[in-house]
């Protein structure tokens, strides 16, 4: 009974959760590093960047959107090696997308580094909340999803009709708060995945994808807040 009161979610009662979460964050860091390396490589190659911005864009952007949906839905069902290759391949593709966005918006390397550093600090804080919290964070899910959808709808309306000065930055700040919440929420969900399914070989990659997307979105929102774009 004392163990249950100490850990009401029943997660840390399972031996090996620490090793599992270390594996999750290691894969997540590998994905972020691969995306950053790809973005830097393409950013330094004008011909590849120009191709991505022109004829390849017709297939690249829809393909990236489909990849997010397919990989997110199927990753846990794939064989472990295939799941890892799929995650790393997606990281490369998203790195290419970030290279193009950097060129299109004319942000500097210093601005990206600053945003990534701020996002990393927020990510660490959110991860600690998700890892150590004894409170069930599942009720956050509906609120975070509502905030995300509301911010995206408001951004669309602002771009299409409203065009209010400063509204875009305010909405990006809201998105940054939402994704910071998702870091804690998804971090706890990943621990609960381990509780439910045990140490399946590709489960760490599934958790890494969730946290990877949270960090990338948090970085992009932070970048737009800090640059005012």
Would the CA dihedral through 74, 186, 180, 18 be positive or negative?
negative
How many domains would you assign to the chain? 1
CA atoms of 143 and 225, how far apart (whole Å): 22
**Residue owning tokens 């799941």:** 83
pLDDT (0 to 100) of residue 37 = 92
What is the DSSP code string of 42-57? HHT-HHHHHHHHTTTH
pLDDT on residue 187: 92
C-alpha distances (whole Å) from 46 to each of 40, 49, 70 are 11, 5, 30
Token pair for residue 142?
A: 């509906």
- Whole-model pTM? 0.83
- Cα distances (angstroms) measured from residue 194 to each of 13, 49, 105: 11, 40, 40
Residues contacting 218, CB < 8 A, separation 6+: 119, 122, 123, 176, 179, 180, 183
Going from the C-alpha of 201 to that of each of 106, 120, 167, 195, the distances in angstroms are 41, 27, 44, 14
CB under 8 Å to 171, separation ≥6 — which residues? 151, 154, 155, 158
Please report, in tens digits, the pLDDT of each residue of the chain (229 residues total). Answer: 344 434 545 555 456 788 888 999 999 999 999 999 988 888 766 665 566 555 555 555 556 666 676 777 777 788 888 889 989 988 998 888 888 777 666 778 788 889 999 999 999 999 999 888 888 888 898 899 898 888 888 878 877 766 666 777 888 899 899 999 999 999 999 988 887 776 667 888 989 999 999 999 999 889 888 876 6
- Containing domain of residue 161, as a range? 2-227
Q: What is the pLDDT of residue 34?
A: 95
């Amino acid at each position: 009974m004392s163990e249950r009161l100490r850990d009401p979610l029943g997660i840390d009662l399972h031996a090996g959760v620490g090793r599992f979460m270390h594996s999750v964050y290691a894969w997540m860091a590998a994905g972020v590093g691969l995306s950053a390396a790809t973005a830097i490589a393409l950013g330094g190659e004008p011909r590849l960047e120009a191709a991505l911005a022109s004829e390849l864009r017709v297939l690249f952007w829809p393909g990236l959107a489909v990849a997010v949906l397919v990989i997110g839905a199927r990753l846990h069902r794939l064989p472990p090696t295939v799941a890892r290759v799929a995650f790393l391949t997606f990281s490369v593709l998203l790195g290419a997308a970030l290279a193009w966005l950097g060129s299109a918006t004319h942000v500097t390397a210093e601005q990206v580094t600053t945003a990534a550093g701020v996002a990393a600090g927020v990510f660490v804080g959110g991860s600690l909340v998700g890892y150590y919290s004894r409170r069930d964070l599942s009720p956050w899910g509906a609120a975070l999803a509502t905030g995300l959808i509301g911010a995206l709808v408001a951004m669309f309306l602002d771009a299409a009709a409203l065009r209010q000065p400063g509204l875009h930055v305010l909405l990006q700040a809201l998105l940054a708060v939402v994704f910071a919440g998702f870091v804690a929420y998804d971090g706890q969900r990943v621990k609960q995945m381990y509780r439910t399914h045990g140490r399946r070989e590709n489960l760490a990659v599934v958790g890494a994808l969730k946290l990877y997307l949270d960090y990338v979105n948090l970085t992009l929102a932070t970048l737009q807040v800090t640059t005012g774009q």
